Chains A and B, each alone.
Chain A
Amino acid sequence: MAACASITMMFGAFTSAFLVRQAAGNWLEFALPGIFTLSTVLIVASSITLHGAFIAFKKGAAPLYKGLLIATFALGLAFVVVQYEGWQAMKDLLGLPLGTNPSSDFVYLISMIHAAHVIGGVAALLVALIHAFTLTSGPTPTRKLRLELTLIYWHFVDILWVYLFVFMTLQS
């Protein structure tokens, strides 16, 4: 929880810096590439599948739990890939490589640092996957807690992205 508060402060800082800088002028207006909508859908979906996995895990429905965990992991990876495509689209389609204007640079900065947090989450999912296929013990309290922490973190980076996406769409 405390970690979430910290990360929130960090992105709060980014978005307020964005607003302050925008108010200062010399700000290029542009529309976010549509591909970021796709990544938004992907990450929301991954949150839903992970939640399902957690419920299945608590009920002891092992095959469903494993399936949903794999789906989440795949969706998480796909999110990162699509973000990368988004940066390519900004560069090639919009002609806004890094260093053009603070408005697009902020989008790069925010989405890149966010992606770094998602990659951390993907690593946690990987650990969860390895546990799912190697540990034989059922839903012990420790395992439940571990999965729950992963779940909270994942929901958190998901909601964070939705916030950032809405913020950046409204501002450009």
Chain B
Amino acid sequence: MANVTTQQVQTEEDRLIQEQGFDDHFHEHHHGDKYQSNFITTYIFSQDHKIIARQFLITGMFWAFIGGLMSLIFRLQLGFPDESLAWLRPLLGKWITVNDAGLGTLAPEFYYALVTMHGTILVFFVLTAGLSGTFSNLLIPLQVGARDMASPFLNMLSYWFFFFAGVVMFFSLFLSTGPFSGGWTAYPPLSALPQASSGSGAGMTLWIVSLVLFVVSVLLGGINYITTILNLRTKGMSLWRMPLTIWAFLITAVIGLLSFPVLASGFFLIMFDRSLGTSFYLSEIFIGGQALDHVGGSPILYQHLFWFLGHPEVYIIILPAMGLVSEVLSVHSRKPIFGYKAMVFSMLAIGFLSFIVWAHHMFMSGVNPFISNFFVIFTLIIAVPSAVKVFNWIATLYGGNVRFTSANLFAIGFVSMFISGGLTGIFLGNSAIDIQLHDTYFVVAHFHIVMGVAAFFGMFAGVYHWFPKMFGRFMNETMGKIHFWLTMIGAYAIFWPMHYLGMAGVPRRYYRFDVFETFRHFTEINKFITIAAMVVFAAQLLLLINFFYSIWKGKKVTTKNPWGASTLEWTTPIHAGHGNWPGKIPAVQRWPYDYGKDGKEFTPQIEPLKEGEHDGGH
């Protein structure tokens, strides 16, 4: 019986697309053949957005694995500074020095290199490219009703620039002087003077080359996302009928386009200082008793340029996650998203405000306290649209017919993390409190919870939810739920205690703490954090196994729309070919959140409004 009804739903949808849809004569041109004629054009140099999305995702997963592994190594050092790490020698080689007693120690320079690489990789390669690249590519054409991106070719280039940025960074891991080690923010002088530390030479050169390639990738992608959303929406898809995912990707791309070039400017100045003898960032400096001939530069200038990107960047990371979470929460609560327009306006407000708060990272860098006041106020104002969003997510869940699928659990987990981390942001945003908290583990706790873990949760929600669309199979729900609970509890176990360390003044980026009388009593907490980190890392292996197992062996998707969602991607065939829809492009008749309306569980966007029916978004 169930089968019969789904069959009917499908034919009903096909009929709607056939009757109302828009015929662009796509299939008469045989694009498909041109793009996907052999293995290489189909899977490697593909111009199909669905394949490019998978490329971004799998590359991102690779980097997440590497970056996560690095954090385990430096957590071992922090949690167990006296244990022998000699067993890591096969992996790390000369970075582990073994003394006569056979005790292996991690080289301090390499500790810094690991921390730096961990930050760079996670922020840029995983949470920017892996998150935004994956889902913007997958969902923009599918959800706005387009055959592909505006420029599939630039889209392909965007992926390959990212890929080569990764190759360069990966290569730098094997330099004999080690990769760059001055922190993911690459402040001068460590970044601007090749002789400043072992990672500042070749390591920094490769770091900056890699990131310039990365900026190019982001810009190419962003231009494409914006043009596609603005120009290629299907008939009836007005802006106020776009799913919140699409709004999020649009705003993210605009922020990226306006902020990444400023980072590039900062990098160009570093390159000049490094190789052309200028002193933009370098003031009078002595190295080894030797005075350098740099005079008059200002390292603070770099901090301004960096954080002008850096703060928008954190929203570049979190906004796509917010979009994914909004969509997943609504679908799995079987309720319309609460306050659709408020969600859009708060994202716009966050996007705008993110450009005028950057100096809250510099309260302790000697900026004028009166200027700090200005930044304090705008920083605290960001809490308002953030709170609006949190309220709306909770209101969406409230009274819903909530399905606790893995996807939805992660979406709910996102909301929890975002609240916890947002609250600590309000502490940090006050410049007076920041005097105590700056550069302590409190900051580490803040941004890992609000950005790191939350963005990962958004990404996981997205992966579990759209996996059926990407691969035509489901991921295993039991494994997904174990993955969720281990990660949720484990992540709090890692980062919650760090707040206490931070309040007690434990500084970040220190190689070991047991040598300080003041911090010695934190030894046990540090052990606990390290063990929790190992558990969480192991839980991610569960995801990896589930992911790859399900690609080939997962339960097959038998209906086009397994979650009963109303958006357009679920009207494409289970295995959509190039061009996404076999016949006409569906036309859109209503907003994307008609769940539980008029006694129907959901109403697809392609279903015409009934006589006198009110369209939700308007």
A contact residues vs B (CB 8 Å cutoff): 2-3, 5-7, 9-14, 17, 20-21, 24-26, 98-99, 101-102, 105-106, 108-109, 113
Contacts and interface: CB of A to CB of B under 8 A. Distances in A.
Interface string B264-290: 111011001000111110000000000
A105 B270 CA distance: 12
Contacts of A21: 280, 298, 301
A6 B262 CA distance: 9
Given A13-B305, A21-B301, A6 B277 contact: no
Contacts of A106: 280
A11 B266 CA distance: 11
A88 B103 CA distance: 59
Contact of A14 (B259, B265, B296, B297): B265
Nearest to A109: B272
B223 interface: yes
Given A20-B304, A24-B298, A5 B258 contact: yes
B297 A99 contact: no
B141 interface: no
Contact of B295 (A3, A24, A26): A26
A13 B266 contact: yes
B296 A102 contact: yes
A7 B265 contact: no
Contacts of B305: 13, 17
A143 B33 CA distance: 25
Given A3-B219, A13-B305, A20-B301, A98 B278 contact: yes
B308 to A, nearest CB: 7
A65 B402 CA distance: 66
Given A13-B308, A17-B265, A113-B268, A2 B276 contact: no
Which 4 pairs of residues, A with B, have the shortest CB-CB distance?
Answer: A99-B277, A10-B261, A26-B296, A13-B265
Contacts of B295: 26
A152 B269 CA distance: 28
B278 A10 contact: no
A6 B223 CA distance: 10
Interface string B286-327: 000000000111100100110010000000000000000000
Given A10-B264, A13-B265, A2 B257 contact: yes
A98 B269 contact: no
Contacts of A17: 265, 269, 280, 301, 304-305
Nearest to B227: A2
Interface residues of B, number: 30
Contacts of B269: 17, 109
Nearest to B222: A2
A10 B297 contact: no
Contact residues of A: prevailing secondary structure: helix
25 contacts: A2-B222, A2-B226, A2-B227, A3-B219, A3-B223, A5-B257, A9-B257, A9-B262, A10-B262, A11-B265, A13-B262, A20-B298, A20-B301, A25-B296, A26-B295, A98-B272, A98-B278, A99-B277, A99-B279, A102-B278, A105-B279, A106-B280, A108-B278, A109-B278, A109-B280
Contacts of B259: 9
Nearest to A16: B304
Contacts of A10: 261-262, 264-265
Nearest to A20: B301
A9 B261 CA distance: 6
B279 A6 contact: no
Nearest to B277: A99
Given A102-B297, A113-B268, A6 B280 contact: no
B260 interface: yes
B296 A101 contact: yes
Contacts of B222: 2
A2 B150 CA distance: 13
Nearest to A10: B261
A99 B297 CA distance: 11
Contact of B261 (A6, A98, A105): A6
Nearest to A2: B223
Q: Which of A5, A6, A14, A113 has the most CB of B within 10 A?
A: A6
Nearest to B260: A6
A59 to B, nearest CB: 28
Contacts of A2: 222-223, 226-227, 257
A102 B280 contact: yes
Contacts of A24: 298
Contacts of B257: 2, 5-6, 9
Contacts of A12: 262
A7 to B, nearest CB: 7
**Quick one: which of A7, A9, A12, A98 has the most chain B CB within 10 A?**
A9
Given A21-B280, A26-B295, A9 B258 contact: yes
Contacts of B265: 10-11, 13-14, 17
A105 B219 contact: no
B27 to A, nearest CB: 21
A84 to B, nearest CB: 15
Nearest to B283: A26
Contacts of B296: 25-26, 101-102
A99 B268 contact: no
Contacts of A11: 265
Given A2-B223, A2-B226, A26-B296, A105 B262 contact: no
Interface string B216-238: 00010011001100000000000
